[in-house]
Structure 1
């Protein structure tokens, strides 16, 4: 399995088979492959300063639940769903969730490898406005926007990661993008 590139389902299935056969060290391959995206998702869905704890707990829960993982299914959406659930559990009922998300994003939490030239061109002020606008969205819209556009998951991966139907992803995307357009029209 090559590091950094897209993981093939067959390669992933072989690694999962090795882990299930007792080769626990093979799980490190999955952690290495999926930890960066899991961390970005945790940051962008509100884990804040607890991002490392959320991701670690998600990987531990995934490992413990491998016996219930369906053969032939994609590991990444399954894992990301656990990350989302862990983040939700962490912040359930806390009113300062949006403030923490924005603070972590402003402090330079990893949003993906090298900076995108387009993002650099847009500038710091535009980025702040976008993050603030995303922060005003209700959690269900913010999570869908985060998965689709900040993590670049497909609609199907987003649906699987959030545990919602594909049609719900589409409707939440429409509503979320409409709210963002309205909010950013004044910037």
Structure 2
């Protein structure tokens, strides 16, 4: 079993590093999709990304989980648009969807005593997205490719910070804000 995980991790890293030169980012995030759009929930491990996705799924019947740990985000330069994809790497939740949808937005979660959402500045969004990407800072060409992709994605995709409790009200607040911003 140990070797299977080693091979799986090696494949994931190979995908991340090869994809970086083609406008693809492998991210640590959870992604619910609704209305043909996927929303990337980011945060440190244990923050509640999967919990927040589950809250969307239980609150909105039309929501589905695209990926719960390592989705891929791709910037299409010809269309000047970003997409999010399911991958074979989904963490503890077995969610392996071979689907693509338009990227609707990013949401960085923070545990807090109340639910408050705030749009990130482009610089904040850049840093937030970069911190969730699989990257190797010491490989200059790779790191530059990742940063270029993030720069383009930030220009066409809204990003928010959500201070939240693990409750339905937080899901409604984030859903209403993100879906309104991505119309």
TM (normalized to structure 2)?
0.29
Which structure has more strand as a fraction of its residues? 2
CA radius of gyration, larger in: 1
Which structure has more helix as a fraction of its residues? 1
